[in-house]
A and B are shown apart, each in its own frame.
Chain A
């Protein structure tokens, strides 16, 4: 991702972070089990997931204390993991169980995610389709110019003196042919064929 893109991402994220921080400070939460795995195992390679509290550790008798040392912000990750799910912890001056705290932590980002929806894809899609249409129109204009030029050329050929002369002779042959003698008809046939060929040549050339 480019630097400018990263900056855009940063700018976009700032209000989300602010809202998140406000939410995090105000919310109370309930119990959860962070270690329960989903049914599908990942094809993870060279990955060391964090140790998850063992069932044994989760059944450790709770520490009911709400002393300042139970402030989660003062704990290491290892200390926090060692706590039982129903252990009371303090967070931003509020007391809650570890499980409730964990649930709150997991839910907060998803709450943020639901707050906004994007319509950007539809806009991009329309932009894409419009560009495609515009490209087609541009290319079609070139083909249209060729087609128009050919049609104009055909019109010019048909109005050229050579073509007009041949058309006039064709009409003359057509007029004479029915009443012509057999010998004359034979000559007219021959000439009709010649005119046919000449007209074709004019069209092609």
Chain B
């Protein structure tokens, strides 16, 4: 009999505890009951069907960039606890992907990045969140958004188009190739090539300081301030990778900074980006032609302004 008494006692005790808990919860719920906590209460009584969160769309106003705010639409985002879950953004691939380009393979491997977004609003059918601003080293491309519900159940993987924050740099001189230097003056220099040991690339150049992409000099030994004695076209080229392009915000006026020995016979230096047509396209590679004249001597520096995903190499 002893075990039977014990079992009955235990059953009554458990029932009493359960009742107390339910009453306690009811009292709490009656005070602050809302749609979320109502689901908790209802599903503690009824056997609610298990559901999986489903992302159906991203609001078109969403900004899928570092620091951007997104609105995710779908269903079953709330667990029975009624607590908000997480929104996770997955960038890149867990498995290294070599970006192939015509000609030569690029060796940059897109790293895998998984970041949790700051939740700004949460309901059963939508979530509103902000992407961390410090996402760097990631190229533009497809990313994955997932809802991780409070009870641990994950949604489908929803593909979105990610745009990286842009950086703005001057392409270094050693990343520009000299194609042709028209050595028509008495002493000529084009980047790292010169026909005179006395011509060197200066550390500082008028207008651009210490950062420039192209430097040329054509000097006449016998200056003629009135007449252009020689003229030519120097040609350079660059090839940017991983989403970097020539900046077009100033219509490719990246800055030719000439120094003329004699203005009347040396000016002007001009330039042309051969692959920047149509005019508003931003080339990732191009020839840069620099047209010069020399009556006395001309020096020019060009700072090629480039933009691309921050933290990603351009070569």
Contacts and interface: CB of A to CB of B under 8 A. Distances in A.
Nearest to B251: A2
Nearest to A195: B42
A185 B267 CA distance: 96
B242 interface: no
Interface string B192-214: 11111111101111111111000
A116 B206 CA distance: 5
B249 A193 contact: no
B217 to A, nearest CB: 6
B26 A21 contact: no
B39 interface: yes
User: Which of B35, B125, B247 has most A Cβ within 10 Å?
Assistant: B35
Nearest to A36: B197
Given A147-B69, A157-B35, A110 B41 contact: no
B121 A121 contact: no
Given A115-B206, A121-B208, A143 B181 contact: no
Contacts of A204: 75, 124-125
Interface in A118-145: 118-121, 124-125, 128-129, 131-132, 136, 139-140, 142-145
B33 A12 contact: no
A147 B263 contact: no
Contacts of B247: 128
B190 interface: yes
Contacts of A174: 22, 25-26, 29-30, 41, 45
Contacts of A175: 23, 26, 30
A193 B51 CA distance: 14
A50 interface: yes
Interface in A77-112: 77, 80, 101-103, 105-110, 112
A75 B198 CA distance: 23
B125 A13 contact: no
B180 A112 contact: no
B186 A50 contact: yes
A6 B270 CA distance: 8
A147 B73 CA distance: 11
Contact of B183 (A10, A21, A44): A44
Contacts of B178: 42-43
Interface in B112-127: 120-121, 123-126
Contact of A45 (B123, B180, B200): B180
B207 A120 contact: yes
B258 interface: yes
Contact of A109 (B230, B267, B299): B299
B107 interface: no
A192 B38 CA distance: 10
Interface in B253-293: 253, 255-263, 267-272
Contact of B195 (A49, A112, A189): A49
Given A124-B168, A203-B35, 10 more contacts: A1-B268, A13-B263, A24-B261, A47-B182, A105-B187, A110-B299, A115-B206, A128-B168, A143-B71, A193-B42
Interface of B: 18-19, 22-23, 25-26, 29-30, 33-35, 38-39, 41-43, 45-48, 59, 61-63, 65, 67-71, 75, 120-121, 123-126, 128, 130, 165-166, 168-170, 178-188, 190, 192-200, 202-211, 217, 219-223, 225, 229-230, 232, 247, 249-251, 253, 255-263, 267-272, 297-299, 301, 303, 305, 307
22 contacts: A13-B259, A13-B260, A14-B263, A16-B260, A20-B261, A36-B198, A42-B180, A44-B183, A46-B180, A49-B184, A80-B222, A105-B220, A114-B203, A124-B168, A151-B128, A163-B35, A166-B38, A167-B35, A167-B38, A190-B46, A192-B46, A203-B125
